[in-house]
Structure 1
């Protein structure tokens, strides 16, 4: 089975970029390049990491900015869409909503960790890790039933607290 990863329709990508660019200093080309890299790695073994500089965040609230600056680790989940490679046009899309892009670290990480909900852009997460494999099993049923599956988190940014034990989600 050949999966299409985040091959958004032009109008979908434009709308997605409009939302993301309100929170992050990122060009449309940079966002597209990030998706292209993840697309190329879709069937690669391992756990390739994707990071961006912490200064990409556009602060809108001083109190949150302080928590963001002090956080040990910051996770960002970018929306993704999965589809089966077929000639079927006009498929309906099902949305699966996660909570937040949880990350853990006991030491300060200077780069933002970028991923997708349930890390389904990573082959090993889709096929080997029990928790994420269960999500992918559900997604496969939807794909095989003729749907596209859009994955996103309610909170796109997760910021660890100073002790690293809990997070502060940012919608």
Structure 2
């Protein structure tokens, strides 16, 4: 009992409080870093290559934020084998859908690619079309080694994608 009482000095209690405070601050720092990291899921739906030049590539993608903090995506590159193609930051025309009755257009929807940069809210999803243009003709991406290089406010990360669903322009 005397040994325990001799350990409960003001200095020893201050030391224990300081050590506990240090451990809690390290835990909070690591926990915040884990919560604030870039953790997204990218879903590839399909892509099409323009028939007129075989250079324009439009890809349908969905970006899902898996953490509570927003993520801002500033640039995306399509990596095909050893080449990188920058996605356009200006929205590009993708398709037009019309509804007609008796030959008269009663509704028209114009779809454009997603402009860069964009923000994905916490646990949110941003999806749509993304457009890039290659300097040379590309006829197929199904057999190529493809990935997305994503630049964000949380860092740079590479996501492999299997581009196995080509749609035909028509």
Same fold (TM over 0.5): no
TM-score, L = length of structure 1:
0.28
- Structure having the larger proportion of residues in strand: 2
